[in-house]
Chain A
């Protein structure tokens, strides 16, 4: 027989009465200390699950309940009668440091695996299952917005533009399932020498980049890289990946979003840039493949990359976790290392 001290509340008023509860092996419990003793069978009372060392509630039939701090005695009674196994194992999980650390490791490894492999793979599947009109819809107004914000019309001579338009058409036509792609020239002091791929299939090259290039083949390499972004549907995948990753992170840090936005925002930012670097690498690989197929020495891409970094002054020369592109030195190595 197990006997514990408890407080009794009848559920009608807030009066507290100190009582003793004795649990008999037969499954009966007797509450003494009230005007008259109460006897119940264990099967008609509900006992709250154990959480840390918070008081346990024993809900009696009707509205009354008892509250006790003697968690171990209650657990012994429940174990003896083989009740609430699930909650008891949950408490074991929650009360042993070893288990908690195992949980920590599993969570970190699981979350890492999901974010590293699961989310990108899933996003790729979904993106390629969606029609290409989705990409187009995403970037419909993209160029208009950019025109208003950072671009001005190109100053390049028409014959220079035509030269590259012809090359670009040749490139897109031979890609078997090529989508509608278009090459646009823009001038921008703010952006400097650079090229962009919009999800709608528009590729923008700045005047500054054309002037920076010392050889036609350097620009072809850059165009191949940008076509790689469009063909691999990176904008749509980025959108899908980032929203899925935010869900995963919100799930994990769910308890704390109100505590500080920073602690939830930081990992999201890190992830976004990590995904972005993965896309750049994929586009680089696409460019590499194209150049090999057309006997263009990979050197050319490495050269223009280096010159772009020099010109902008702030290329990602160190492997920074906050960088959206892989380090230029790594990319150059990749292109120089292969033949």
Chain B
């Protein structure tokens, strides 16, 4: 018998605003050192306010480890900045180096995050070899290039499968049941959308015959084109998120994500407007709002009680990989 268990989020904008502003102040006063503690407090706030069957999630990372990771990344960044000023070739060398360590960064970031997240005192896990990660990224990259992009949805499928399939909760691994065809379906819709958008822009451009109509028609075409492009980007993001989450299962339990493109687009647009008009003061409100919407649309379809998961054996992970990922603001595809 399946029971639908909703994720509940109890974060409040007013409360988070105060935590946020104190984080900024202390980070500022300590010249950035406090940022590691700020990150942990922020994560703890959001994890701690996320409940599933009356138990909350917990973020357990050690700020000192995060600080070390950040210092390493910062050191690399300074080296990179100096090196590229001296010789342009150094930039390419760094780029190559970064490309080579990318699979490592990816695996380490996911592992650090998962092993420092717990629910009911059982930690999540991520375990994958760097070789397999390199295989996914290099193989997927080559495939995408060789097929002139036709293989890209397959690459996204491989990456999602890699991420979900190598994750676990305690000693129970996650399973991933989506098929490549599902990903192709999403990208096909987006592709048709782009073709329609280009066609519409074309018609609008052609419709304006005289020079003045061409100007207004041109502007209209450009604006419409970018609007539809924005819409399609949000559509892709939303649909892939839904697809990945809804096909992740843990034992006999399943997840279900029901985000809607129009809602997500509205949240993105109104958040941006609110942030700009409030000179950034509404940032905490915007974040809370986004997280709340995402969690309101996430459910666990539980096949029975959640009492029987068993803890797994884990090694600890250094934070450097995660901090590199953070620094470059990677989308880890989940």
Contact = CB atoms under 8 A, between A and B. Distances in A.
A13 B122 contact: yes
Interface string A298-315: 000000000000000000
Interface in B160-210: 170
A90 interface: yes
A100 interface: yes
Interface in B262-290: 268, 271-272, 275-276, 280-281, 283, 286-287, 290
Contacts of B275: 256, 259-260, 262-263
B28 A51 contact: no
B310 interface: yes
Given A103-B25, A266-B276, A14 B329 contact: no
The size class of the interface chain A forms with chain B is 35 or more
B117 to A, nearest CB: 13
Q: Which of B12, B16, B22 is the most central at the interface, judged by chain A CB atoms within 10 Å of its CB? A: B22
Closest 4 CB pairs of A and B: A54-B48, A9-B121, A100-B18, A14-B309
A197 to B, nearest CB: 21
Contacts of B32: 251
Nearest to B307: A15
Interface of A: 7, 9-16, 48-49, 51-55, 57, 63-65, 67, 90, 93-97, 99-100, 103-104, 106-107, 110-111, 243, 251-260, 262-263, 266
B219 to A, nearest CB: 20
B22 A9 contact: no
A99 B12 CA distance: 18
B233 to A, nearest CB: 13
Nearest to A93: B22
Contact of B311 (A12, A54, A57, A107): A12
Contacts of A7: 55
B227 interface: no
A47 B55 CA distance: 17
A52 B58 contact: no
Contacts of B44: 48, 51, 54
Contacts of B28: 107, 110-111, 251-252
The A interface is mostly helix, strand or loop, or mixed, namely: mixed
B62 interface: no
B65 interface: no
12 contacts: A7-B55, A14-B120, A16-B120, A51-B48, A55-B48, A104-B281, A107-B24, A111-B28, A252-B28, A253-B283, A255-B20, A266-B276
Contacts of A49: 41
Contact of B272 (A11, A53, A262): A262
B276 A262 contact: yes
Contacts of B49: 52, 54
B25 A106 contact: yes
A54 B271 contact: no
Nearest to A15: B307
